[in-house]
Structure 1
Amino acid sequence: MEVEGGEPLDDKAKRMRDLLSSFYSQDPSSATTPATKSSWRYATLDTINTASFDADLYMNLLVQKSNLEGLLQKHVEMAAEIKNLDTDLQMLVYENYNKFISATDTIKRMKNNIAGMETNMEQLLEKIMSVQSRSDGVDTSLFEKREQIEKVHRTRNLLRKVQFIYDLPARLEKCIKLEAYSDAVKFYVGAMPIFKAYGDSSFHDCKRQSEEAVNIITKNLQGKVFSDSESIQTRAEAVMLLKQLDFPVENLKVKLFEKLEQYLMDLRLQPTETSKDSVDVEACSDQKEVPASVSSGAHEASVREFAEAVRAYKEIFSHSEPQLSKLAHDLIRKHFEATHQQIKKQIHSADLVEILRVIWTDVLLMDEVLPEALLPDLALQSARDALKDYFSSLFNRLLLGISDAITKAQVSQREGIHEEHYIQEALEASRDAVIQGSRNVLQEFRHLHDENSALLVKLRDLIVDWVQEGFQNFFRKLDGYFRLLSGKSHPDSQELNFVEKIPADKISPGLVLVLAELSLFIEQNAISKITEEIASSFSDGGIRGSEYGPAFVPAEICRIFRSSVETFLHLYIKMRTQKISIMFKKRFAAPNWVKHKEPREVHMFVDLLLQQFEEIGNEVKQVLPQSIHRKHHRTDSNGSTTSSRSNPLRDDRLSRSTTQKARSQLLETHLAKLFKQKMEIFTKIEHTQESVITTIVKLSLKSLQEFVRLQTFNRSGFQQIQLDIHFLKSTLKDISEDEAAVDFLLDEVTVGTAERCLDPIPLEPPILDRLVQAKLAKNSEQK
């Protein structure tokens, strides 16, 4: 059996239902229905709980399917079930009996309570009938008087209207004198139905006089509409009054919108003046100008007046929303144009926040009266552009600050100012400009990020991305600026159009050295500090997708500046070497080496060369650190650090007096050179004073060797070069850290000169020493 919902009942619930049905059923025969003979074959042991249960058929099935032990077990189970069912049936009867007793008591109480209610209802009905009869009597007695009173009241109202019509011309004249045009229009509009009905008969004179007064009112209202001294609100009210007088106001629409545009032109200047006042507070106090708060309040009042005028125009002119929306958009655009102008004046973030707050207030006021213009969306997009412009302005300002500090070295060189530590001062100033300037920029950005104004809150996530992207692009641009300063081209040179590209021959080597050291400082110090600042304030939020990665990548910036350090060091060495090479070219191009006179002293060209090395040393010592490695001293016992020509062979060759022996010695030296261990002259450049100076010295001597090989010398010319090189050996050992390589290159110059000499007979060692000592003594006296 199934319940009404279609869900099967458990066995116990089925048995309980069958028991209750059999107990309360009046027709016992209806509880069960005998099974037909044809259904016994389909019967099962589960039919005991159905309405068509057949005891005989059930017993036959049970006997057929069970053995004796099973029948006994089934007997025990059924006896237990019968006992439980009897107990449940007894409890069910007791429970229902208690409910019947409770229901009987309740019915008795209800019968006792209702017994007195019938009498009360009869009394109430009698009283209602009595009141109704008396009310009918009062209505009957007052019916005639009520009709008279209503008739008199209608007559009184009619007389009042008639009196109002007769008094209307005087009222209108009085309103004209007092300029109470709204009351005049209200009076005349109220009298229009009577004039239409009786204006040509009873009230002809009143109608004529009223129309004359209304004509005057119409002219006065038109005058107010076109008066420049009247406010926008007053003009809008005048148009509405004319519209109530059935005046064709559509003809005034063009002129009214022109007036509204003119008012808008005067209104555009307000935010600019407000921001200006907020920036120059001291100037306002000195000149007793209007404070920023007062000016902002006046601007808000003006915008409210403009908004009310827009509301009135919407009510007056149908389908005017597109024109009004255009005016509102124009107002917001002009506000942001003024904002961009203020950004060009390098305002602070607090001033920009104040300007955006004023603009957003205007937007909300206008959005209340003109929601179809969608001003918040326009303002949000314009604010994004303004903030991006401000971010770009701050980064450009930071770049210019760094540029001013860096170019101090270039200006000092260009103007001939020889300060003792000008490169060091320029480097320190540029370092401070990078660190402090970046912190100042971050402080400005932090103020915008933490501001709780509604407009900036909507852009907070974008600000986080712009800060990170801005610093990433800034350092790329800064590296490009460094390269432009050094005379190299850069892909972003168009973005750096404010940088004056210096010709290659006008670039100061000191400037290049500053760029190298500053690039190293940015890589090792500045990037890490700025990364910490960004992470502490701008790491949350952002709308940049995770698939694009972080906007600020310190490792990439460090790699760029690490490469720039090497580039600038090589450029500095190249510039210094080229300058010395030019001096070598002049030295060897001037005299006729074939007709050179006998040397009397060390040539002044050596002094110029040493002066160049000294200048280089002063520059690098101002900015580059010292090397922690020991200097490489030449030892005669180490074959790898000696000259490619052995000292005994060279000394023996230089001491001979005949040309034939000298030339034969050259052959011996070439043969000895083939069997000597190769010496490493040019090693990797390190970022130290000694490494840079030594590299320049080596390159200069190598250049000197090449110039020597292009000349032909007589004996005196060869001896002059020999004397100069011998003097350089005693002086360059204190300049270069790789003394062995320098000695080797000096020997190469001497031997190369001998190879190009027609009569290579050297000076005697005593003569060399005497001339060198004389030169040293002379230099000492000059110092």
Structure 2
Amino acid sequence: MASAEDEAFNIDGNSFNSDLYLSKLLKEGNLKQIMEKECEIVRESQYLHSEMQTLVYENYNKFISATDTVRKMRKDFKNMQAEMERLNANMEKITQFSGTISDSLKDSRGAVDKLCETGQLLRKLQFLFLLPSRLNESIAKGLYSDAVSDYLHAQRVLERYGSQPSFQGIQKECEEIVNQLITLLKERLATHDATAAQLAESVCLLVQLQGSDEALNEKFLCSSEPRLLNHLETLKDTNNCSDLLEWVERGNSGLLADLCIVVSSYNEMFLATANSDSVIQNLNHFTENIMLKYLELAKVQFESNAIKSGTEILVRSLDKFYRRLQAINQQIHGNDYANEAADIVMTVILSKGQNYFNMIKAQFWERLVSIRQSIASKTSGDLKEMLSSLQVFIMEKVQASLQDLMIFLQSGLSFSFKPACVNCVVKACIDLVSDTITDLVSVVKGFCVLQATNNSTPAQLLLILSKLCYELQNSGINCLLSQGNTLLDKASHLAESVCIPDSLGINLCKHAGEGAQTLLDSYVNHVGLKVSQMLRVSVLSREWIRVPEPRGVRAVARRVLEALAAAEQDALQLYDSGTTTRQSSDSSRRTHSLSASKLPYRSNWSNGVLDSSLASNINKLFSEKIEIFSPVEPTKVSIMTGIVKISLKTFLECVRLRTYSRYGLQQMQVDIHYLQLYLWQYVHDENLVHILLDEVLGSVINRCIDPRLMEPSVVEIICERG
């Protein structure tokens, strides 16, 4: 019903209802809309009226034209019938006249035939008498083929009538001239300046004059070889030229064109008359020798230009080279030179992929050196920006290289449909991604070795490279492999789809993860040893027996906190904060349990020290062992925890090497409490700091000759003032 109602309001439909349309228009539209609609309908009506008049006038004109045409055809048909009758009468008269003429010339027809035969014989005799001069003239002008053609044309007559005295002189003179021509043809075979067409013409004429023999085909090949070798020398001299397309064109139009002329001429002259094994073997050996040298030159040329030539030029050159050798296969039988060309194409593809890898490797190393110099000179402190530049560089370069390799699979190329070439492109893509990631991880691991041997690698560079490896492991490698598969899906036009295997991504991600872990552990060790060196020097370079009463915190404690704060700032730029375990908001303000409760202030400290040492050792038995050099997680808290553990462990081992006075113990108590006030915020579990610092203080007490600790309140006042 809705459709019927719509048809009723459709002004162009068959079921249009003007009353309903008008009532709807009056109900829904205002006065201005109604007037505009009226003007529109009037304008359309006038236009339709004008179109209708035009159609009527055109049809009327066509009708009048058709009537005139029919009237004219009737008149012309009558005239045509009269013409045909006159033509028939004329043909009958011509037939009668032809019969009369034939009857009158019947008697003289035989005489005319005899005269024609006599004239033809005279022309032949004239040709024979003029043959020596014609031969000499053709030879003088270099028209050897015309001379041979004339001689062969007259040879049958001379052989038939040569015994007659009148023809003996002509035959003898012609034979002498032909012998001279044979000598000239053989001399042209021996010259190195003759073209392949001239050599073929000479051999063809000699075959026509002397017949085919094995010595002649060998001489033909020997005469053709110097010119082909000259082509090879020319190509060799132009090796490493800047225009690879020009080099291929020279080979196609020069060497291969002449070789095809030699082979086709050889087949026409010798194989057609004597299809023996020796004749075929001579040709095969000759062509294999030339083609082997040409393919060696082509391989060197393409491999050398794979580095400096653009991919588009390289692919176009390979396509021309491959197409020409495909055509050679149709003319030269023996080896499959198209497969030889395909092998060169695959070699170039792999070489191109290797060149891309070498370029990325060199440029990546340059960027690493630049970043290292920036860190060393402290011209830039934005580690995140440095990381982003490295990551973007690797992704863009590898993706651009993969895109470039897909040019070898364009659908218009002659070798792009071959499965071997497609698989070679896939292998080049796999090698490019695999070698890039593997070499990158090996390079960055080398910085760990350098840092461990001579401590020359900046710690911030290790942190940047560790994050780079983590980013590659988490998303970068899979993104590159996905990009490669997408490009292969678009470029490959074979029935079977090709792709990069998933196992490659798993192995590369695992390798990148191992490199990231190694770098992060190396960074923690580097910074931890740097802080440890501060603590070690501060402990071992001081005479703790003669220190004065402590009045403040030593400068080394502040430098340690500054170094940790700098390391935390660097880690926060690249890694997430991570989770921490906090016991209470004021836990950082507590004093050591060992100093507050285990050692009460009294005159005899021996029993107290023994009791505290025994209690500390018993607590160690039941507490979890602290792994100092455990693997670091990729979070800021885990990194800082590793640095703090190494630093405090070194502090503990250095403390055990010294002997302390009462004031030395108290100075250590102040420094330890000061460190405790701030170190807890860097680790994931503050108990770890408390345990290690308690061990340090306990070790100092055990090495003290007069173990008297300061009051905790006094320690806090000194630390707050410091």
Alignment partner, residue 20 of structure 1: none
Alignment partner, residue 311 of structure 1: 264
CA distance in 1, matches of 2:310, 2:500: 33
2:609 aligned with 1:666:
yes
Query: Pairwise mapping of residues 200-279 of structure 1 onto structure 2 (< 5 A)?
Result: 202-203=166-167, 205-206=169-170, 209-210=173-174, 213-214=177-178, 217-218=181-182, 220-221=184-185, 224-225=188-189, 230-246=194-210, 249=216, 250-251=218-219, 253-267=221-235, 276-277=242-243
2:441 aligned with 1:482:
yes
The Cα of 1:370 is off from its aligned counterpart by 0.9
* TM superposition score normalised by structure 1: 0.64
Query: In the alignment, which of 476, 483, 500 is matched to residue 533 of structure 1?
Result: 483
Indicate conservation of the 8 Å contact 1:483/1:489, yes or no. Answer: no
CA distance in 1, matches of 2:328, 2:427: 35
Deviations 1:621-668 (CA, angstroms, capped at 9, x unpaired): 3322223x3562567889xx9888445325x54x55x5x42x332212
Structure 1 residues 251 and 229: CA distance shift in structure 2, 3 A: closer
Alignment partner, residue 568 of structure 1: 519
CA distance in 1, matches of 2:494, 2:704: 76
C-alpha RMSD of matched pairs (Å): 4.5
2:126 aligned with 1:163:
yes
State the one-letter code of the partner of 1:616: A
CA distance in 2, matches of 1:665, 1:568: 46
Query: Pairwise mapping of residues 630-649 of structure 1 onto structure 2 (< 5 A)?
Result: 630=580, 632=582, 645-649=593-597
Q: Aligned to 1:672, what secondary structure does the other structure show?
A: helix
Alignment partner, residue 359 of structure 1: 321
CA distance in 2, matches of 1:584, 1:457: 69
Structure 1: stretches of 5+ with no match in the other structure: 1-137, 279-291, 491-499, 777-783
Query: In the alignment, which of 348, 367, 372 is matched to residue 386 of structure 1?
Result: 348
Q: Aligned to 1:419, what secondary structure does the other structure show?
A: coil
State the one-letter code of the partner of 1:512: L
Query: In the alignment, which of 303, 325, 337 is matched to residue 375 of structure 1?
Result: 337
Structure 1 residues 427 and 354: CA distance shift in structure 2, 3 A: same
Structure 1 residues 717 and 232: CA distance shift in structure 2, 3 A: farther
Deviations 1:521-549 (CA, angstroms, capped at 9, x unpaired): 12222234334434434357889999x99
Structure 1 residues 697 and 542: CA distance shift in structure 2, 3 A: farther
CA distance in 2, matches of 1:469, 1:526: 19
The Cα of 1:455 is off from its aligned counterpart by 1.2
CA distance in 2, matches of 1:295, 1:568: 50
Q: Aligned to 1:686, what secondary structure does the other structure show?
A: coil
CA distance in 2, matches of 1:544, 1:502: 51
CA distance in 1, matches of 2:451, 2:151: 80
State the one-letter code of the partner of 1:622: Q
State the one-letter code of the partner of 1:426: M
* TM superposition score normalised by structure 2: 0.69
Alignment partner, residue 51 of structure 1: none
The Cα of 1:313 is off from its aligned counterpart by 4.0
The Cα of 1:697 is off from its aligned counterpart by 1.2
Deviations 1:192-220 (CA, angstroms, capped at 9, x unpaired): 55666739965565456545655654565
Alignment partner, residue 521 of structure 1: 471
Indicate conservation of the 8 Å contact 1:649/1:669, yes or no. Answer: no
Deviations 1:456-477 (CA, angstroms, capped at 9, x unpaired): 1113x75267537843773376
Query: Pairwise mapping of residues 531-680 of structure 1 onto structure 2 (< 5 A)?
Result: 531-538=481-488, 550=501, 553-594=504-545, 602-627=553-578, 629-630=579-580, 632=582, 645-650=593-598, 652-653=599-600, 658=603, 660-661=604-605, 663-673=606-616, 674=618, 678=623
The Cα of 1:329 is off from its aligned counterpart by 4.0
State the one-letter code of the partner of 1:750: L
2:145 aligned with 1:182:
yes
State the one-letter code of the partner of 1:442: L
CA distance in 1, matches of 2:156, 2:575: 101
Deviations 1:435-470 (CA, angstroms, capped at 9, x unpaired): 2223213322333334332311113x7526753784
The Cα of 1:595 is off from its aligned counterpart by 5.5
Alignment partner, residue 418 of structure 2: 458
Alignment partner, residue 97 of structure 2: none
Alignment partner, residue 302 of structure 2: 339
Indicate conservation of the 8 Å contact 1:236/1:312, yes or no. Answer: yes
The Cα of 1:306 is off from its aligned counterpart by 4.0
Q: Aligned to 1:712, what secondary structure does the other structure show?
A: coil
CA distance in 2, matches of 1:363, 1:270: 20
CA distance in 2, matches of 1:203, 1:592: 138
Deviations 1:392-412 (CA, angstroms, capped at 9, x unpaired): 433444455545445544454
Query: In the alignment, which of 640, 644, 663 is matched to residue 693 of structure 1?
Result: 640
Structure 1 residues 564 and 216: CA distance shift in structure 2, 3 A: same
CA distance in 1, matches of 2:386, 2:185: 73
| More off after superposition, 421-430 vs 221-230 | 221-230
The Cα of 1:428 is off from its aligned counterpart by 0.8
Structure 1 residues 259 and 708: CA distance shift in structure 2, 3 A: same
The Cα of 1:669 is off from its aligned counterpart by 1.4
Alignment partner, residue 417 of structure 1: 377
The Cα of 1:737 is off from its aligned counterpart by 5.1
The Cα of 1:705 is off from its aligned counterpart by 0.7
Deviations 1:331-369 (CA, angstroms, capped at 9, x unpaired): 344323322222233632x23321221112211332232
State the one-letter code of the partner of 1:748: E
Structure 2: stretches of 5+ with no match in the other structure: 1-102, 271-278
Structure 1 residues 734 and 550: CA distance shift in structure 2, 3 A: closer
CA distance in 1, matches of 2:502, 2:687: 51
Alignment partner, residue 15 of structure 2: none
The Cα of 1:703 is off from its aligned counterpart by 1.7
CA distance in 1, matches of 2:221, 2:114: 49
Indicate conservation of the 8 Å contact 1:585/1:707, yes or no. Answer: yes
State the one-letter code of the partner of 1:260: L
CA distance in 2, matches of 1:675, 1:501: 37
Query: Pairwise mapping of residues 32-47 of structure 1 onto structure 2 (< 5 A)?
Result: none
The Cα of 1:692 is off from its aligned counterpart by 0.6
Alignment partner, residue 459 of structure 2: 509
Structure 1 residues 297 and 562: CA distance shift in structure 2, 3 A: closer
2:674 aligned with 1:710:
no
Structure 1 residues 688 and 196: CA distance shift in structure 2, 3 A: same
Indicate conservation of the 8 Å contact 2:549/2:663, yes or no. Answer: yes
State the one-letter code of the partner of 1:678: S
CA distance in 1, matches of 2:534, 2:334: 78
The number of equivalent residue pairs is 596
Query: In the alignment, which of 377, 380, 388 is matched to residue 428 of structure 1?
Result: 388
Q: Aligned to 2:415, what secondary structure does the other structure show?
A: helix
State the one-letter code of the partner of 1:669: S
Indicate conservation of the 8 Å contact 1:465/1:544, yes or no. Answer: no
CA distance in 2, matches of 1:551, 1:170: 85
State the one-letter code of the partner of 2:195: S
Query: In the alignment, which of 704, 708, 712 is matched to residue 757 of structure 1?
Result: 704
CA distance in 1, matches of 2:451, 2:556: 34
The Cα of 1:570 is off from its aligned counterpart by 2.0
The Cα of 1:573 is off from its aligned counterpart by 1.5
